[in-house]
Amino acid sequence: MASLQSLPVEILFHILAFTGPFRRISPHDDPLCNLAASSKLLQDVVEAYARGLLKQRKSVVLKRRRGEPYRKTWRRWVSNTCQTCKKKSVRAAILDPGVTCCVNCDRKIPKMTKTDAVTKHHLSLLDLFTPNFLHPDLPPVTSGEYMCMGGMATMILTEDVLARKQYIVEQTGNQDESFLHKRQNLLTKVQRDLRLYYKGGRWWLEGRLGMDTTELLLQFLNVKENVRKTIENPRAHLGLSLEARRQVADAVVSFLKAVESSQSNSLRMRLPAGLSAS
């Protein structure tokens, strides 16, 4: 029966290229280190692969420490070298924390703050951070956070913001800035009514701790009714048919339940043993 160890070295090298060799990964999560620990044969293959990567960059790589495995030397170089200009840096890229990127190279990547995307392009947070009940099938935009003046600032790839705005224009059939501004204000009100906020790459609910299931469901249904009235108002600037608005309103409770469940699980994982989120 064929196994990984029975494959030719050339094919194994090709497989190793898909393990993210250029990404910042802790030793415990490093596929190269984990694979090398599985058998002596695969350790030799991983070492040969890492040595090849180092030889290709012999003019820029760190000096190998005596007795250090090639795979660890390679990971040390990846974590301490900007993958764009190859200068020394330990800084992670804002939009992709798995890649080492110096400040100068990161600045060249076109991106904008979440605030600019909302105020200048009239996109609500529900438009930007998908999927959600309003856009269940839209993929997420490329975004990231970094520390700025004592707080966390959210940055979004400019290309994704412009593409998302174009999608909204095509969906609503209206590119008038005043319409988009009114639509953004309406969706911001809906978000606040739902007591939703976006942080750390996910949606959160305010004030849900300590509620039992029945109380939580009643509150969700009450919120849904308020949101339904807002969304289905004929004067609401959404650019959607009545049927589409009803579908959005019906999806609210399911989305809130999913967010609450994810939030509860996340809090349980952070609490010490013996304590509960309630």
Q: Is the peptide bond before 131 cis (omega within 30 degrees of 0)?
A: yes
**Which tops the pLDDT comparison, 27 or 197?**
197
The whole-chain average pLDDT of the chain stands at 80
Question: pLDDT at residue 111 above 90?
Answer: yes
- Give tens-digit pLDDT for 211-238: 455 555 555 666 666 666 666 665 565 6
State the Cα angle at 225 between 221 and 229, rounded to 5°: 165
User: Domain segments of the chain: what residues?
Assistant: 8-104, 110-270
Could you give the CA distance from residue 7 to residue 272 in angstroms, rounded to a whole number? Answer: 45
- Give tens-digit pLDDT for 145-192: 888 877 888 999 999 999 999 999 998 888 889 889 988 988 888 888
- Give tens-digit pLDDT for 40-78: 888 898 899 888 888 887 666 666 677 788 888 888 888
Q: How much of the chain, in percent, has pLDDT values that exceed 70?
A: 76
State the Cα angle at 260 between 136 and 190, rounded to 5°: 55
Question: pLDDT at residue 104 above 90?
Answer: yes
pLDDT at 106: 93
**Which tops the pLDDT comparison, 121 or 245?**
121
